[in-house]
Amino acid sequence: MSGAVAELLEVLELEKLEENLFRGRSPQDSWQRVFGGQVIGQALVAACRTVEDRQPHSLHAYFLLGGDPKVPIIYEVDRIRDGRSFATRRVVAIQHGRPIFALTTSFHLEEEGFEHGARMPQVPPPEDLPGEAEIRAGAIPSMSPQVRAYFERERPIELRPVDHQRTAQADPHEGEFRVWIRTTGPLPDDPAIHRSVLAYASDFTLLDTSLVPHGQSVIQTNIQAASLDHALWFHRPFRADDWLLYAQDSPSASGARGFSRGLVYDRAGRLVASVAQEGLVRERKRQPDLPPK
User: Which of these is catalytic: 42, 203, 210, 274?
Assistant: 203
**Is 274 labeled as catalytic in the residue annotation?**
no
Give the chain as a 3 state SS string. Answer: CCHHHHHHHHHHCCEEEECCEEEECCCCCCCCCCCHHHHHHHHHHHHHCCCCCCEEEEEEEEECCCCCCCCCEEEEEEEEEECCCEEEEEEEEEECCEEEEEEEEEEECCCCCCCCCCCCCCCCCHHHCCCHHHHHHHHHHHCCHHHHHHHHCCCCEEEEECCCCHHHCCCCCCCEEEEEEEECCCCCCCHHHHHHHHHHHCCCCHHHHCCHHHCCCCCCCCEEEEEEEEEEEECCCCCCCCCEEEEEEEEEEECCEEEEEEEEEECCCCEEEEEEEEEEEEECCCCCCCCCC
Question: How many whole angstroms separate alpha carbon 164 and alpha carbon 277?
Answer: 21
**Is 128 labeled as catalytic in the residue annotation?**
no
Question: How many whole angstroms separate alpha carbon 178 and alpha carbon 241?
Answer: 18
**178 and 159 in contact (C-beta within 8 Å)?**
no
**Is 146 labeled as catalytic in the residue annotation?**
no
User: Which of these is catalytic: 210, 227, 250, 274?
Assistant: 227
Give me the active site residues, please: 203, 227, 277
